[in-house]
Protein backbone atom coordinates (compact mmCIF):
# COMPACT_ATOMS: atom_id res chain seq x y z
CA UNK A 1 0.00 0.00 0.00
CA UNK A 2 1.37 3.41 -0.96
CA UNK A 3 1.54 6.47 1.28
CA UNK A 4 -1.18 8.06 -0.91
CA UNK A 5 -3.45 5.11 -0.19
CA UNK A 6 -2.84 5.45 3.54
CA UNK A 7 -3.66 9.16 3.35
CA UNK A 8 -6.87 8.35 1.47
CA UNK A 9 -7.85 5.73 4.05
CA UNK A 10 -7.26 8.15 6.93
CA UNK A 11 -9.36 10.79 5.13
CA UNK A 12 -12.22 8.30 4.65
CA UNK A 13 -12.08 7.32 8.33
CA UNK A 14 -12.21 10.96 9.38
CA UNK A 15 -15.19 11.60 7.08
CA UNK A 16 -17.07 8.58 8.48
CA UNK A 17 -16.34 9.54 12.08
CA UNK A 18 -17.55 13.11 11.40
CA UNK A 19 -20.69 11.78 9.70
CA UNK A 20 -21.58 9.56 12.63
CA UNK A 21 -20.88 12.24 15.26
CA UNK A 22 -22.80 15.04 13.50
CA UNK A 23 -25.53 13.04 11.78
CA UNK A 24 -24.77 14.88 8.52
CA UNK A 25 -23.95 12.69 5.53
CA UNK A 26 -20.49 13.19 4.09
CA UNK A 27 -20.26 14.59 0.56
CA UNK A 28 -16.84 12.94 0.07
CA UNK A 29 -16.88 10.76 -3.04
CA UNK A 30 -14.31 8.38 -1.53
CA UNK A 31 -16.40 7.94 1.64
CA UNK A 32 -19.55 7.31 -0.42
CA UNK A 33 -17.77 4.71 -2.53
CA UNK A 34 -16.42 2.97 0.58
CA UNK A 35 -19.89 2.85 2.17
CA UNK A 36 -21.33 1.39 -1.01
CA UNK A 37 -18.66 -1.28 -1.21
CA UNK A 38 -18.73 -2.07 2.53
CA UNK A 39 -22.39 -1.56 3.39
CA UNK A 40 -22.58 -4.38 5.95
CA UNK A 41 -19.50 -3.20 7.83
CA UNK A 42 -20.76 0.40 7.80
CA UNK A 43 -24.12 -0.77 9.17
CA UNK A 44 -22.34 -2.68 11.94
CA UNK A 45 -20.24 0.36 12.86
CA UNK A 46 -23.33 2.61 12.97
CA UNK A 47 -25.15 0.18 15.26
CA UNK A 48 -22.43 -0.12 17.88
CA UNK A 49 -23.58 1.03 21.30
CA UNK A 50 -20.12 2.19 22.34
CA UNK A 51 -19.05 3.89 19.13
CA UNK A 52 -18.86 7.38 20.65
CA UNK A 53 -16.75 5.97 23.48
CA UNK A 54 -14.41 4.47 20.90
CA UNK A 55 -14.08 7.76 19.07
CA UNK A 56 -13.41 9.48 22.39
CA UNK A 57 -10.79 6.80 23.11
CA UNK A 58 -9.14 7.56 19.77
CA UNK A 59 -9.16 11.29 20.43
CA UNK A 60 -7.83 10.88 23.97
CA UNK A 61 -4.53 9.42 22.77
CA UNK A 62 -1.76 12.01 22.71
CA UNK A 63 -0.28 11.37 19.27
CA UNK A 64 2.64 13.76 19.75
CA UNK A 65 3.55 12.07 23.02
CA UNK A 66 3.38 8.62 21.40
CA UNK A 67 5.47 9.86 18.49
CA UNK A 68 8.08 11.27 20.85
CA UNK A 69 8.18 8.00 22.78
CA UNK A 70 8.66 5.86 19.70
CA UNK A 71 11.07 8.29 18.07
CA UNK A 72 13.34 7.80 21.07
CA UNK A 73 13.40 4.08 20.34
CA UNK A 74 14.24 4.28 16.64
CA UNK A 75 16.21 6.58 14.34
CA UNK A 76 14.73 7.73 11.04
CA UNK A 77 16.16 9.84 8.20
CA UNK A 78 14.68 13.34 8.14
CA UNK A 79 13.05 12.85 4.74
CA UNK A 80 10.92 9.99 6.13
CA UNK A 81 9.46 11.91 9.06
CA UNK A 82 6.12 12.80 7.46
CA UNK A 83 5.61 9.32 6.06
CA UNK A 84 6.47 7.81 9.43
CA UNK A 85 4.00 10.12 11.16
CA UNK A 86 1.25 8.75 8.93
CA UNK A 87 2.24 5.21 9.93
CA UNK A 88 2.13 6.03 13.63
CA UNK A 89 -1.15 7.91 13.36
CA UNK A 90 -2.63 4.90 11.58
CA UNK A 91 -1.55 2.40 14.21
CA UNK A 92 -1.71 4.34 17.45
CA UNK A 93 -4.22 7.15 17.05
CA UNK A 94 -6.65 6.12 14.31
CA UNK A 95 -8.45 3.40 16.21
CA UNK A 96 -11.63 4.11 14.26
CA UNK A 97 -9.74 3.53 11.03
CA UNK A 98 -8.37 0.20 12.22
CA UNK A 99 -11.78 -0.84 13.54
CA UNK A 100 -13.38 -0.08 10.18
CA UNK A 101 -10.67 -2.10 8.46
CA UNK A 102 -10.25 0.32 5.56
CA UNK A 103 -7.55 -1.33 3.53
CA UNK A 104 -4.75 -1.96 6.01
CA UNK A 105 -4.34 -5.58 4.94
CA UNK A 106 -1.60 -5.28 2.32
CA UNK A 107 1.12 -3.51 4.26
CA UNK A 108 2.96 -6.61 5.39
CA UNK A 109 5.65 -6.83 2.74
CA UNK A 110 8.04 -9.33 4.28
CA UNK A 111 8.85 -11.99 1.69
CA UNK A 112 10.13 -15.42 2.62
CA UNK A 113 9.32 -19.06 1.99
CA UNK A 114 7.24 -19.56 5.14
CA UNK A 115 4.44 -17.36 3.73
CA UNK A 116 3.45 -19.75 0.93
CA UNK A 117 -0.37 -19.67 0.53
CA UNK A 118 -0.84 -23.39 1.14
CA UNK A 119 1.09 -23.26 4.42
CA UNK A 120 -0.56 -20.15 5.81
CA UNK A 121 -4.21 -20.19 4.74
CA UNK A 122 -5.17 -19.76 8.40
CA UNK A 123 -3.49 -16.38 8.61
CA UNK A 124 -5.72 -14.85 5.92
CA UNK A 125 -9.08 -16.31 6.95
CA UNK A 126 -11.65 -14.64 9.18
CA UNK A 127 -11.64 -16.24 12.64
CA UNK A 128 -14.37 -18.81 13.21
CA UNK A 129 -15.59 -19.44 16.73
CA UNK A 130 -14.43 -22.88 17.84
CA UNK A 131 -16.89 -25.37 19.30
CA UNK A 132 -17.04 -25.39 23.07
CA UNK A 133 -17.26 -28.57 25.14
CA UNK A 134 -19.45 -29.43 28.11
CA UNK A 135 -18.19 -32.11 30.49
CA UNK A 136 -20.93 -33.67 32.62
CA UNK A 137 -21.38 -36.76 34.79
CA UNK A 138 -19.07 -39.73 34.23
CA UNK A 139 -16.73 -37.36 32.36
CA UNK A 140 -19.03 -37.41 29.37
CA UNK A 141 -17.97 -34.73 26.87
CA UNK A 142 -20.59 -33.06 24.68
CA UNK A 143 -19.65 -30.71 21.82
CA UNK A 144 -21.72 -27.53 21.89
CA UNK A 145 -22.44 -26.38 18.35
CA UNK A 146 -24.92 -23.73 19.48
CA UNK A 147 -24.19 -20.68 21.63
CA UNK A 148 -26.17 -19.13 24.48
CA UNK A 149 -27.78 -22.19 26.07
CA UNK A 150 -29.91 -21.95 29.22
CA UNK A 151 -29.93 -24.19 32.30
CA UNK A 152 -33.53 -25.34 32.67
CA UNK A 153 -34.60 -28.17 34.96
CA UNK A 154 -32.02 -30.93 34.58
CA UNK A 155 -30.96 -29.86 31.11
CA UNK A 156 -29.12 -27.29 29.04
CA UNK A 157 -31.60 -26.11 26.42
CA UNK A 158 -32.16 -23.75 23.52
CA UNK A 159 -35.49 -22.59 22.13
CA UNK A 160 -36.65 -21.47 18.71
CA UNK A 161 -38.52 -18.20 18.19
CA UNK A 162 -41.75 -20.14 18.47
CA UNK A 163 -40.69 -21.42 21.91
CA UNK A 164 -39.97 -24.95 20.73
CA UNK A 165 -37.06 -26.73 22.41
CA UNK A 166 -34.36 -27.22 19.75
CA UNK A 167 -31.53 -28.75 21.79
CA UNK A 168 -31.36 -30.48 25.16
CA UNK A 169 -28.28 -31.72 27.01
CA UNK A 170 -28.75 -33.56 30.29
CA UNK A 171 -26.69 -32.21 33.19
CA UNK A 172 -25.53 -33.52 36.55
CA UNK A 173 -28.42 -33.87 38.96
CA UNK A 174 -26.32 -34.13 42.13
CA UNK A 175 -24.09 -31.51 43.76
CA UNK A 176 -21.25 -31.99 41.27
CA UNK A 177 -20.24 -29.16 38.95
CA UNK A 178 -20.68 -29.24 35.20
CA UNK A 179 -17.65 -27.95 33.30
CA UNK A 180 -17.92 -25.63 30.32
CA UNK A 181 -14.62 -25.64 28.39
CA UNK A 182 -14.09 -22.89 25.81
CA UNK A 183 -11.01 -23.49 23.62
CA UNK A 184 -8.60 -20.96 22.16
CA UNK A 185 -10.37 -19.17 19.34
CA UNK A 186 -13.75 -19.68 21.03
CA UNK A 187 -16.31 -17.73 23.02
CA UNK A 188 -19.53 -18.84 24.73
CA UNK A 189 -22.51 -17.39 26.56
CA UNK A 190 -24.39 -19.37 29.18
CA UNK A 191 -27.51 -18.52 31.19
CA UNK A 192 -27.74 -20.22 34.60
CA UNK A 193 -30.94 -21.36 36.29
CA UNK A 194 -31.25 -18.10 38.27
CA UNK A 195 -31.08 -15.94 35.14
CA UNK A 196 -27.42 -14.96 35.57
CA UNK A 197 -25.65 -14.70 32.21
CA UNK A 198 -21.95 -15.46 31.80
CA UNK A 199 -19.98 -14.66 28.66
CA UNK A 200 -16.87 -16.88 28.67
CA UNK A 201 -13.80 -15.80 26.70
CA UNK A 202 -11.36 -17.97 24.76
CA UNK A 203 -9.15 -20.55 26.53
CA UNK A 204 -11.32 -20.55 29.68
CA UNK A 205 -13.17 -23.02 31.91
CA UNK A 206 -16.31 -22.43 33.94
CA UNK A 207 -17.57 -24.87 36.58
CA UNK A 208 -21.27 -24.44 37.41
CA UNK A 209 -23.98 -26.48 39.18
CA UNK A 210 -27.22 -27.56 37.60
CA UNK A 211 -29.08 -26.19 40.64
CA UNK A 212 -27.89 -23.67 43.19
CA UNK A 213 -28.19 -24.26 46.89
CA UNK A 214 -30.85 -22.26 48.74
CA UNK A 215 -28.64 -19.64 50.39
CA UNK A 216 -25.59 -19.54 48.13
CA UNK A 217 -24.84 -19.49 44.43
CA UNK A 218 -21.33 -20.55 43.48
CA UNK A 219 -19.29 -21.10 40.30
CA UNK A 220 -15.56 -21.53 39.59
CA UNK A 221 -13.56 -19.87 36.82
CA UNK A 222 -10.22 -20.35 35.08
CA UNK A 223 -9.62 -17.78 32.37
CA UNK A 224 -11.86 -14.81 31.60
CA UNK A 225 -15.60 -14.18 31.78
CA UNK A 226 -18.07 -11.32 31.97
CA UNK A 227 -20.84 -11.80 34.52
CA UNK A 228 -24.30 -10.24 34.71
CA UNK A 229 -25.53 -11.60 38.02
CA UNK A 230 -29.25 -11.74 38.75
CA UNK A 231 -30.09 -9.87 41.94
CA UNK A 232 -30.95 -12.13 44.92
CA UNK A 233 -30.07 -10.44 48.23
CA UNK A 234 -30.81 -13.62 50.22
CA UNK A 235 -28.52 -15.72 48.04
CA UNK A 236 -25.14 -14.09 47.31
CA UNK A 237 -23.27 -15.14 44.17
CA UNK A 238 -19.68 -16.39 44.58
CA UNK A 239 -17.01 -16.82 41.91
CA UNK A 240 -14.07 -18.90 43.08
CA UNK A 241 -10.91 -17.72 41.29
CA UNK A 242 -7.60 -19.25 42.39
CA UNK A 243 -7.17 -18.09 46.04
CA UNK A 244 -9.93 -15.48 45.76
CA UNK A 245 -13.66 -15.48 46.36
CA UNK A 246 -15.57 -12.77 44.48
CA UNK A 247 -18.88 -12.15 46.26
CA UNK A 248 -21.81 -10.23 44.74
CA UNK A 249 -25.60 -10.02 44.93
CA UNK A 250 -26.55 -8.36 41.63
CA UNK A 251 -23.75 -6.93 39.55
CA UNK A 252 -22.03 -6.65 36.14
CA UNK A 253 -18.28 -7.23 36.15
CA UNK A 254 -15.35 -8.82 34.33
CA UNK A 255 -12.97 -11.39 35.81
CA UNK A 256 -9.65 -12.18 34.11
CA UNK A 257 -7.68 -14.99 35.72
CA UNK A 258 -5.72 -17.10 33.27
CA UNK A 259 -3.59 -19.81 34.86
CA UNK A 260 -0.47 -18.86 32.89
CA UNK A 261 -0.70 -15.27 34.13
CA UNK A 262 0.54 -14.17 37.55
CA UNK A 263 -2.18 -11.53 37.71
CA UNK A 264 -5.91 -11.58 38.41
CA UNK A 265 -7.99 -8.58 37.29
CA UNK A 266 -11.54 -7.96 38.51
CA UNK A 267 -13.29 -4.96 36.93
CA UNK A 268 -16.66 -3.70 38.19
CA UNK A 269 -19.11 -2.12 35.73
CA UNK A 270 -22.28 -1.96 37.85
CA UNK A 271 -23.23 -2.84 41.42
CA UNK A 272 -20.84 -3.81 44.20
CA UNK A 273 -18.25 -6.56 44.69
CA UNK A 274 -16.50 -7.90 47.78
CA UNK A 275 -13.22 -9.68 47.15
CA UNK A 276 -12.16 -12.16 49.84
CA UNK A 277 -9.16 -14.33 50.53
CA UNK A 278 -10.36 -16.89 53.04
CA UNK A 279 -12.27 -14.93 55.70
CA UNK A 280 -10.41 -11.69 54.96
CA UNK A 281 -12.10 -9.00 52.85
CA UNK A 282 -9.38 -7.56 50.63
CA UNK A 283 -11.48 -4.94 48.85
CA UNK A 284 -14.98 -3.67 48.14
CA UNK A 285 -15.15 -2.36 44.60
CA UNK A 286 -17.28 0.50 43.33
CA UNK A 287 -18.28 0.83 39.64
CA UNK A 288 -15.49 1.93 37.34
CA UNK A 289 -12.72 0.42 39.46
CA UNK A 290 -10.45 -2.60 39.10
CA UNK A 291 -8.90 -4.95 41.64
CA UNK A 292 -5.46 -6.35 40.73
CA UNK A 293 -4.03 -9.36 42.56
CA UNK A 294 -0.57 -10.93 42.20
CA UNK A 295 -0.73 -14.70 42.76
CA UNK A 296 2.93 -15.23 43.62
CA UNK A 297 3.34 -12.37 46.12
CA UNK A 298 -0.26 -12.08 47.40
CA UNK A 299 0.01 -8.32 46.85
CA UNK A 300 -3.05 -6.45 45.61
CA UNK A 301 -4.29 -2.98 44.75
CA UNK A 302 -7.39 -1.13 43.58
CA UNK A 303 -7.32 1.41 40.78
CA UNK A 304 -9.62 3.27 38.43
CA UNK A 305 -10.44 1.07 35.44
CA UNK A 306 -10.62 1.69 31.72
CA UNK A 307 -13.93 -0.13 31.29
CA UNK A 308 -13.73 -0.06 27.52
CA UNK A 309 -10.30 -1.71 27.52
CA UNK A 310 -11.32 -4.34 30.08
CA UNK A 311 -14.62 -5.36 28.49
CA UNK A 312 -14.04 -4.60 24.80
CA UNK A 313 -13.76 -8.33 24.06
CA UNK A 314 -17.45 -8.76 24.89
CA UNK A 315 -18.23 -6.35 22.03
CA UNK A 316 -15.99 -8.18 19.55
CA UNK A 317 -12.98 -5.87 19.90
CA UNK A 318 -9.44 -5.79 21.20
CA UNK A 319 -8.95 -2.51 23.06
CA UNK A 320 -5.42 -1.61 24.15
CA UNK A 321 -4.30 1.51 25.98
CA UNK A 322 -0.55 1.79 26.48
CA UNK A 323 -0.36 -2.01 26.66
CA UNK A 324 2.87 -3.99 26.44
CA UNK A 325 3.31 -5.93 23.20
CA UNK A 326 3.81 -9.09 25.27
CA UNK A 327 0.29 -8.71 26.72
CA UNK A 328 -1.17 -7.79 23.34
CA UNK A 329 0.22 -10.94 21.74
CA UNK A 330 -1.18 -13.07 24.58
CA UNK A 331 -4.66 -11.76 23.79
CA UNK A 332 -4.17 -12.37 20.08
CA UNK A 333 -2.82 -15.88 20.67
CA UNK A 334 -5.89 -16.93 22.65
CA UNK A 335 -8.35 -15.60 20.10
CA UNK A 336 -6.63 -16.72 16.90
CA UNK A 337 -5.37 -19.97 18.43
CA UNK A 338 -1.73 -19.34 17.50
CA UNK A 339 1.56 -19.26 19.38
CA UNK A 340 3.24 -15.85 19.38
CA UNK A 341 6.76 -15.63 20.81
CA UNK A 342 8.02 -12.10 21.56
CA UNK A 343 11.75 -11.41 21.57
CA UNK A 344 13.02 -10.27 24.97
CA UNK A 345 14.35 -6.97 23.62
CA UNK A 346 10.88 -5.71 22.64
CA UNK A 347 8.61 -7.13 25.37
CA UNK A 348 8.22 -3.74 27.05
CA UNK A 349 7.19 -1.78 23.94
CA UNK A 350 3.69 -0.32 24.50
CA UNK A 351 0.87 0.51 22.07
CA UNK A 352 -2.72 1.80 22.08
CA UNK A 353 -5.61 1.23 19.68
CA UNK A 354 -8.76 -0.70 18.82
CA UNK A 355 -8.84 -3.77 16.58
CA UNK A 356 -11.79 -5.90 15.51
CA UNK A 357 -11.81 -9.55 16.56
CA UNK A 358 -13.57 -10.28 13.26
CA UNK A 359 -10.54 -9.32 11.18
CA UNK A 360 -8.29 -11.91 9.53
CA UNK A 361 -5.14 -12.37 11.57
CA UNK A 362 -2.96 -10.96 8.81
CA UNK A 363 -4.77 -7.61 9.09
CA UNK A 364 -3.96 -7.51 12.79
CA UNK A 365 -0.29 -8.11 12.02
CA UNK A 366 -0.38 -5.45 9.31
CA UNK A 367 -1.76 -2.91 11.77
CA UNK A 368 0.98 -3.74 14.28
CA UNK A 369 3.61 -3.45 11.57
CA UNK A 370 2.52 0.14 10.98
CA UNK A 371 4.38 1.06 14.16
CA UNK A 372 7.55 0.57 12.10
CA UNK A 373 9.07 -1.20 15.12
CA UNK A 374 7.71 -4.74 14.80
CA UNK A 375 8.22 -7.54 12.31
CA UNK A 376 6.99 -11.13 12.15
CA UNK A 377 8.29 -14.53 11.10
CA UNK A 378 5.44 -16.92 10.34
CA UNK A 379 5.97 -20.67 10.66
CA UNK A 380 3.80 -23.42 9.22
CA UNK A 381 2.70 -24.79 12.60
CA UNK A 382 0.75 -21.62 13.56
CA UNK A 383 3.72 -20.18 15.38
CA UNK A 384 4.86 -16.59 14.93
CA UNK A 385 8.05 -14.94 16.13
CA UNK A 386 7.63 -11.25 16.98
CA UNK A 387 10.89 -9.43 16.42
CA UNK A 388 12.23 -5.90 16.18
CA UNK A 389 12.01 -4.47 12.69
CA UNK A 390 15.37 -3.69 11.10
CA UNK A 391 15.62 -0.09 9.91
Show the domains of the chain with their CATH numbers. Answer: 3-125+316-388 (3.55.50.30), 132-311 (2.60.120.1440)
Helix (H, G, I), strand (E, B) or coil at 153: coil
Q: Is the CB of residue 294 less than 8 Å from the CB of residue 309?
A: no
Tell me what pLDDT residue 136 has: 85
Mean pLDDT, 10 residues at a time, over the chain (391 residues)? 56 72 77 78 63 58 57 47 36 36 31 37 77 84 89 85 75 85 94 96 96 92 97 93 94 96 97 95 96 97 95 92 92 94 93 87 87 88 91 68
Q: Considering only CA atoms, which of 251, 275, 153 is closest in space to residue 196?
A: 251
How far apart CA 290 and CA 254 sit, in angstroms, is: 9
What phi, psi does 342 have (nearest 5°)?
-95, 130
Phi-psi region of 136 (alpha: psi -120 to 50; beta: other; left: phi over 0): beta
Tell me what pLDDT residue 81 has: 38
SS (H, E, C) 182-213: ECCCCCEEEECCCCCEEEECCCEEEEEECCCE
How far apart CA 315 and CA 305 sit, in angstroms, is: 17
Q: Considering only CA atoms, which of 262, 194, 169, 181 is closest in space to residue 220?
A: 181
The continuous run of DSSP H or E covering 51 comes out as helix 51-60
Amino acid sequence: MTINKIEESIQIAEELAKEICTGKESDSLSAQQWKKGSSELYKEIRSQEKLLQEIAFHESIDVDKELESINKRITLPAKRTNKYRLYIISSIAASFLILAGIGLATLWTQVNDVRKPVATNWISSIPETSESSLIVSANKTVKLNKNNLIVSGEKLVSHSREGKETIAIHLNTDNEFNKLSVPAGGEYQLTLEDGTTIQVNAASELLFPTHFKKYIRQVKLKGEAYFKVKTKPDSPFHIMVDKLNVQVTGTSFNVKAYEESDKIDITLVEGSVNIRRGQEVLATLIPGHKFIYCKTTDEYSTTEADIMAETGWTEGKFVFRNEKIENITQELSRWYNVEMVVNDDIKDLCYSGILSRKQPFIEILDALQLTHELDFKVHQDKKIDVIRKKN
